[in-house]
Structure 1
Amino acid sequence: MNKKEKGAGLELRQMPETDPEPRVCLRRNWSLASLTPFWVMALALLPAHHAIAQPVPYPGKPVRLVVPYAAGGPVDTVARLVAQKLTARWNHQVIVDNRGGSGGAVGTQAVIKSPPDGYTLLVGNSGPITVYPHLRKSVLYDFERDLAPASFMVKSCMVLVAHPSLPARGVPDLVRLAKRQPGALSYASSGVGGVQHLGMVLLESRAGIRMVHVPYKGAAPALVDLISGHVHVQFNNVVGSLGHVQAGKLRALAVSTATPSSVLPEVAPVAESYPGFDVASWMGIYAPAGTPQPIIDQLTRDVAWALNEPDAKKRLTEVGAEVVAGGPAALRDYARNESALFAKLIATAGIPKE
C-alpha cells in the first residue's frame, strides 16, 4: 500500500515493496496554490521583457542625414539646422553626411541602398528627384519606387546673382550684354540638370540668348567661383546667396518666383520681364522604400516640430526659406508635378541625355 505525504508543491510517494530497491519518488506538482509566498513574490518581480519582447523606441542610435551635395550649400544649411534640433529631441546624434556627385544622384543612391530602418535618410531636392530621371539614358533608381517621402520641409526662391564687376543691375541689362557678346558670358550651376541649370535654360529660352554653362559638384563650390569672379552669373537658392548679397560680394539681378521675396523685396522677379517665369527651390526628407510606416509618421511629426521651433523658423525666414512642414502626400504630389514640368523643359531645351 502506497503512503503519501504532501509538501509545498511536492508529493512524496513510497514505491511498492515489490520493488527490488525501495526508494522515494519526488513528483513535481506545480500550481500557484502550491507555491510559498516567497516564490510568488519572486515571480511577480521578474521584468516584463522576460515574457514579452518590447519594441525598441526609434531612434535607438545615431541617425545619418545624407546631403547629396558638397558642404556649405543651401541644402546643407537647412539639413544642419534640422539635425541640431532633432539631436536635442531624440537624445541621439543626427549626423549630416555630405555625398556630392552626379547632380545629387550619388548620395541619393547611397540612401536607397541602405537598410529601410530609418537610420539613413536623404535630404533631397529637385536635382536628384525630379530632374535626374530625365537626364539619364539609364537611371540608377526610380524616386517613386525606391524612396519613401517623409517631410516636405521648405520652399524658397532662387536669386539670379552676378559678380559686382558685371555691368548689369537687372535682367534686361543681362540680356543686352548676352546678345551683344554671344558666348562671352558664363553661368555656374550646382550640376547638369539641377534646378539652377534649368532655371537658366528657361531664361535663355525666353530671352533668346546663349551663355556658357559651367557645372559644379554642388551649389557651394559654384558660389565660391562666382564670388571670385571666375564666372559671371548664377541662379542660386536665396538661403545660400542672401548673406553674400547683403555683404556686397554679389549683386541680385532678379528672383525666380512669380512674386518678390520677403527678404529681397526690392529685387524684381524675372516674370516682370518674361511673364509666366516661375521656378522655386524646395527640400524634403526621404527614407529608403520599405521603411516602416510608424517611423515615417514619427519623422513627419518630429521634423515639423524642428522646423517650427521659434528660433529655427526665425532663422529660416531670415534667409528667405518658407517653412512648409508638410507630410508625405504633399511632398509626393509636388515632386510628381515638378517632374512632369521639368521633363517638358528638358525636352524643349534639347538637353542631351547622358
Structure 2
Amino acid sequence: MVGGCHRAFGRAPLLIARRGLIAAGLALAYAPARSQGTWPNGPIRFVVPFAPGGTTDIMARLVGERLQARLGVPVVIENRPGAGATIGSLAVAQSPPDGQTLLMSNIASHAISPALYRNVRYDPVKDFAHIAMVTVNPSVMVANPRFEAQSLEAFIALAKARPGQVHYATSGAGSSNHMIGVRLALAAGLELVHIPYRGAGPAMTDVIAGVVGVMFDSLPSASAHIRAGSVRALAVSGAERSPAFPDVPTFREQGIDIVSYSWFGVSAPAGTPSAIVERLNAEIRASIAEPAVARRLDELGGSPRDWSPAEFTAFVEREVATWAPVVRASGATAD
C-alpha cells in the first residue's frame, strides 16, 4: 500500500515468531508399546518451516493426521519458521536419519531459498531423502477490500503513479510468492516494496486488518478468506483459472505473463533407510487418495501427485535448475 495514503496501510511491523508447544506424553495414548528396532518406535516429528496458518502448515496437518492414523503413533507438527524456510529445513537435514523426523518440503525450502540466501547450509537434493509429493497449486494475489486498488489493472496503475511506495506481503523472503511479486514488478515496470513475514498466516492477518494492502499467497491458505470476503482475489498464477475459483482471472488473461505453481511434499534426512522411505511413500499416496482428503485438496485448489520417491527426487532436481536462474535474474538476495 501507499505510504501515507491511509494510516492503516503503513509498513508492516516486525513480527515475533511464536512456536507452538509440543504436548508431553502424547505417546502414552498410543498402545501397544513398540520394541526397539521397529519403525516407527515413537512420536514422529513433522517440521513445518513456516508459521502456522499458511499452505505448508495446512498440508502438513492434513497429511500428518492421516499418517498418525495409519502408523499408530503421534505425528507432532513443529513450526520452525524463518529465513525463507531454511531454518526448519536445516534442522531436519541435521536430524538422525531414522524416519522419526520429517519435513514438509516446498518450493521455497528446496528450489528458491537455496539460490536466494547466501549461507544456506544444506544441499536441497543431496541432504534429503525426498519421499512423496503431496500437491501442487497456483498462487493468488489478494487485496484488503478497503484497499484503493481492487483489480490487477488498478494496482499496476497505482504502483506506477507512486513508485517505491506500494507494499505487498508474502509468507517470507524466498517464497514462490515473493518471486511472483518480483516477476510482476519486472513485467510491469514497477518499483514495489516487499514485506516478508514468517509465514502466510501472520501476513494474511495483517492484510485483513489493513496493515498491508496486498498479498501474494498460495491458493489453499487464502481460499477460506476469499470465500468469506475478508480479502478480494485479483489474479491467480495458474495457466488456467482455478476450478475452485472460476471467477478469478489469471495473470495472463490480464496481460501479465506469469505462470507459477507452489508444491508441497514430504522429505526426510538423507540416509533414511529405503524401507522406511518406501513405507512412508505408500502411506502418503494412500492418504491423499482417500476421498475425504482428495475432496479437501480440491476445495483448496490443489492437485495431488501420485509419485514415487524417485519421481519426486527428479522433480526437486528440475526445480532447483529452473529457479536458480530466475532468482539470479531478479537480482533478489537475502542474508
- TM-score computed with the length of structure 1 as normaliser: 0.82
2: CA distance, partners of 1:105 / 1:55:
32
- Letter aligned with residue 118 of structure 1: G
Equivalent residue for 2:116?
135
Residues 339 and 170 (structure 1), Cα distance of their counterparts in 2 relative to 1, 3 Å cut: farther
- Letter aligned with residue 218 of structure 1: G
265, 289, 292: which one aligns with 2:270: 289
Contact 1:134 1:353 in 2 (8 A): no
Equivalent residue for 2:80?
99
1: CA distance, partners of 2:227 / 2:130:
35
DSSP 3-state at the match of 2:263: strand
Q: Is it true that 1:188 corresponds to 2:169 in the alignment?
A: yes
Matches within 5 A, 1:179-328: 179-274=160-255, 276-328=257-309
Equivalent residue for 2:19?
none
Equivalent residue for 1:330?
311
Shift of 1:275: 5.5
4+ aligned runs moved over 6 Å, structure 1: none
DSSP 3-state at the match of 2:230: coil
Equivalent residue for 1:37?
none
Contact 1:158 1:280 in 2 (8 A): yes
2: CA distance, partners of 1:340 / 1:271:
24
Matches within 5 A, 1:63-82: 63-82=44-63
Bigger Rg, structure 1 or 2: 1
Of stretches 292-301 and 338-347 in structure 1, the one that deviates more from structure 2 is 338-347
Shift of 1:283: 0.2
2: CA distance, partners of 1:139 / 1:93:
30
RMSD: 1.5
Equivalent residue for 2:18?
none
Deviation track 1:153-180 (CA, whole Å, cap 9, x = no partner) reads 1011111101111233332121111112
Contact 1:202 1:345 in 2 (8 A): no
Contact 2:169 2:212 in 1 (8 A): yes
Deviation track 1:188-211 (CA, whole Å, cap 9, x = no partner) reads 011112111001101111111111
Deviation track 1:99-149 (CA, whole Å, cap 9, x = no partner) reads 111111111111111110100000011111111221233321111111010
Deviation track 1:270-299 (CA, whole Å, cap 9, x = no partner) reads 012346421101101001000110111011
2: CA distance, partners of 1:291 / 1:212:
41
DSSP 3-state at the match of 2:126: helix
Contact 1:102 1:191 in 2 (8 A): yes
Contact 2:125 2:316 in 1 (8 A): no
2: CA distance, partners of 1:212 / 1:319:
28
2: CA distance, partners of 1:198 / 1:206:
12
- TM-score computed with the length of structure 2 as normaliser: 0.86
Q: Is it true that 1:172 corresponds to 2:153 in the alignment?
A: yes
DSSP 3-state at the match of 1:77: helix
Contact 2:187 2:257 in 1 (8 A): no
Tell me the matched-pair count: 301
Q: Is it true that 1:149 corresponds to 2:130 in the alignment?
A: yes
Gaps of 5+ in 1: 1-53
- Letter aligned with residue 293 of structure 2: A
The one of the two structures with greater contact order (alpha-carbon pairs below 8 A, sep at least 6) is 2
Shift of 1:59: 1.5
Contact 1:245 1:252 in 2 (8 A): yes
Shift of 1:334: 2.3
1: CA distance, partners of 2:334 / 2:209:
31
2: CA distance, partners of 1:330 / 1:201:
30
- Letter aligned with residue 77 of structure 2: V
DSSP 3-state at the match of 1:144: coil
Gaps of 5+ in 2: 1-34
Matches within 5 A, 1:331-346: 331-346=312-327
Contact 2:48 2:80 in 1 (8 A): yes
